[in-house]
A and B are shown apart, each in its own frame.
Chain A
Amino acid sequence: MSRAERVPEEVNSREYLRKIIHLNAIKLDRLWLYCGQEDTTNADWKTINTVTLNDLNGQSYPWSGKGWFKKSFIVPVALRNQPLYFQMVHWGASEIFLDGVKLASYGKIGNSRSTEHTFLPDECISFLPDNRLVHHLEVHYSNHHINLPGAPSIFHGFKLSVSEQPILYREKIIDYSLGAMSISFCLGFSLFFFFVFWFYPQRLASLMAAIWLLHFSFIFIPLYLIGLNTDGEFSRFCILTWQIAVGTINSSVILFYYALYYDKLPRRSWFVVGISALIVLAICIFPQVGKYVLLISLLLLFEVFRMLILGYQKDRNKFWILAIGQPLSLFLFLLAIVNIFGIFPEENITTGRFISIALSDLCVPIMLALQLAWEFGYANRVLQKQVVQVKELLEENIIKEHEKQELLAAQNETLELQVTERTTELNQSLETLKATQAQLIQSEKLASLGELTAGIAHEIQNPLNFVNNFAEISEELLDEMEAELDKGETAEAKAIATDIKQNLQKINHHGKRASSIVKGMLDHSRTSSGKKEPTDINALADEYLRLAYHGFRAKDSNFNVTLETNFDPKLPKIVVISQDIGRVVLNLINNAFYAVGQKIKNRPATNDDGTYVPTVEVSTRGTAAGIEIKVADNGSGIPEALINKVFQPFFTTKPTGEGTGLGLSLSRDIIVNGHGGTLSITSTTEGKETGTTFTIFLPIINPST
């Protein structure tokens, strides 16, 4: 081993002095001589400008492996004869010789990573310089971590400095404090966001922010730990952790944006997580390719920026904070790493770098906190506004409700009044209706009476004629008898007397006949007495058949019909309101006559082959349950469509003015409601059986009931 004797010229220059005397320290970071061989005798020493990457400025890095470095330096007069302190910073192993004396040894120098005991020095070595102007420094150094991708550049070489006091720790302290601050900042905010999420889980972005910040802090925690310990292997582990954290940080950022803009994580989140998992795997399995893997993670940056742009389109309020914070953080970080623009004074380069890293670190939590604060503030303002609006609406509603109730009460009152009025009106209408109904029933009676009148007139006229004629003749006969008696013809007088007697009987008979007809007519028109009495239905049916027949004949002498009666001689007397039943029978017979009459009228003359014999049959039949009265005609029949309507009030097929349409309706009422019987109809409109049959069934009711 030989020591370098030559002192570089520039060492004495004022420039050099200004450079090296900085804060009472001599920075030994420039103008070293380097020899890559173990044996330096006759070796070729190469001048290099720096031993740290910071100042590499494009020079290739020479210290992979093991080698000797030497440098001469001057201790200024002011610092002579007092203890000075060396500080070594490196990630490797070294032996330091000052003026040929071994001053310190860090770790164990080796030929490979396995034989080298890597060490991260963290202490100062004191020495007392003698009066020599120039001191010679030799460093035996090995470093096998150069290829570790992503390792901080500071560890690629060593950094040696001499100071009046052991204040060279200052950098470390700044580093530690800034690192600790960033980490606690990130962890604190992460916890804060986690709590926000805990109490308001609807905002998933809070959880994602917490994860982002936790993730973010894992970028700094390994670096911080490296600074705290001296063991190279642990530092290596920390570096791996750091790489993973850096490589995947963008996934957390993306997931945060997803949560922020979509409220729910979209499916492609799995893709993002998948990429991150691949990055982690790649770093763990192939540490050598780690730095290229980190490039892949840059791809995720595109998604980050895409989300920023999407944020601009989606919600500009949310966008601005992130749009400024995110690139600013990135910018500061890059600035710290590369110092692209050289904006920090060279002396303060480390400090400036640390500050910018710290600022970059703080950017994210601050940005997220600002984002959250803004969001909460905004939400609160909106909520407050809404609360006010809700309050106003509520008050309005209460007022409206009140008004509504008042209105409702008023309306209720009006309604009640109206109901009362309407009820009164309805009752009046009902009374009117009842009266009208009674009138209608009466007019129906009168209508059928009208139909009867002609028949009745004929029926009455005949007996009256007989009464008159027989009375007249009897008077004449009395004259004759007197004359015969005067003549003494007693036998003749007696014969005349017999005639007179017979005539008187006839007069009596016809008188009674007339009065019975009148009685029947009165019975018919009189309001029903409602008195049920045993009635001979055969007699009743016969009587009304005759009346109806004469009525029709009187109206239309051309009218002719074959009347068939088929009365059950054993028919018992039945307890009914006879006027009512008579009215029904009359109504049915009238209808039957009308039906056959219409058929004759409507028959085309050409079709009249003379075979049609209009026939109306009235028959009675007794059964165990009651009696049956049938009125059948061989008219045209009733079409099926109309058959259900015939019992409806005011339904009539007769021309206007000829029928009230109440006949069958009232008949049914009388039979069904008045006597508990049935009134049914069968009708055929085609074939031999064409015609209509009405059947009255009256149950036998005990007179006592």
Chain B
Amino acid sequence: MKILVVDDEMDVRSLFEQKFRKEIRDKVFTFNFAHSGEEAMKYLSEEGGTNLLILSDINMPGMSGLELLGKVRHIYPQAPPKVIMITAYGDSNNRQQSEVLGADDFLNKPIDFGNLKERLSLELG
């Protein structure tokens, strides 16, 4: 399963790579990283949305996570790709907007990687 992580923070990559070291090694998940909404859209246009799960931050310079969600759902009105938004704790406003825009789920920031793993294994069914 392909997972596209969209976050402007560079260190997110090494965090994910270390956390999912085994899964990456066993090729359970394939992680791709985009540092902005624009990069994510570029990835989508190149790779398509099948068998893809997008994990997106909201506050990013340039295209924000919500915009990205809007655009994704514009192209793919329904999952796949599934889009899970990472929202700050208690940010009900962004959460509501994400729901309206068609987000499939939410994760609170800071990311609890234990929860994330469970959530992702659910996806694998």
Contacts and interface: CB of A to CB of B under 8 A. Distances in A.
Contact of A465 (B58, B63, B111): B111
B59 A558 contact: no
Nearest to B63: A560
B11 A510 contact: yes
Contact of B19 (A468, A473, A553): A473
Interface string B85-125: 00010000110010000000000011101000000000000
Given A469-B111, A506-B14, A549 B61 contact: yes
Contacts of A197: none
B55 interface: no
Interface size class of A (residues with CB under 8 A): 20 to 34
A560 B93 CA distance: 16
A477 interface: yes
Given A461-B109, A466-B11, A563 B88 contact: no
Contact of B110 (A461, A477, A560, A562): A461
Interface residues of B, number: 22
B67 interface: yes
A600 to B, nearest CB: 14
A468 B19 CA distance: 13
Given A468-B110, A502-B14, A557 B64 contact: yes
A461 B17 CA distance: 21
A506 B15 CA distance: 10
B6 interface: no
Contacts of A469: 15, 19, 110-111, 113
Interface string A540-566: 000000000110011001101011000
Interface in A632-658: none
Given A557-B59, A560-B64, A560-B67, A464 B93 contact: no
A477 B9 CA distance: 22
Contact of B18 (A462, A499, A553): A499
B18 A477 contact: yes
Nearest to A458: B59
Interface in A561-614: 562-563
A563 to B, nearest CB: 7
A16 B83 CA distance: 177
B66 interface: yes
Contact of B113 (A461, A472, A502, A563): A472
Interface in B6-54: 9, 11, 14-15, 18-19
Interface of A: 458, 461-462, 464-466, 468-470, 472-473, 477, 499, 502-503, 506, 510, 549-550, 553-554, 557-558, 560, 562-563
Interface of B: 9, 11, 14-15, 18-19, 58-59, 61-64, 66-67, 88, 93-94, 97, 109-111, 113
15 contacts: A461-B88, A461-B110, A469-B110, A469-B111, A502-B14, A506-B14, A549-B61, A550-B59, A553-B59, A553-B64, A554-B59, A557-B58, A558-B64, A562-B62, A563-B61
Given A469-B15, A506-B11, A558-B66, 20 more contacts: A461-B109, A461-B110, A464-B110, A465-B109, A469-B19, A469-B110, A470-B15, A472-B113, A473-B18, A499-B18, A503-B14, A506-B14, A549-B61, A550-B59, A553-B59, A553-B64, A557-B58, A557-B64, A560-B62, A560-B63
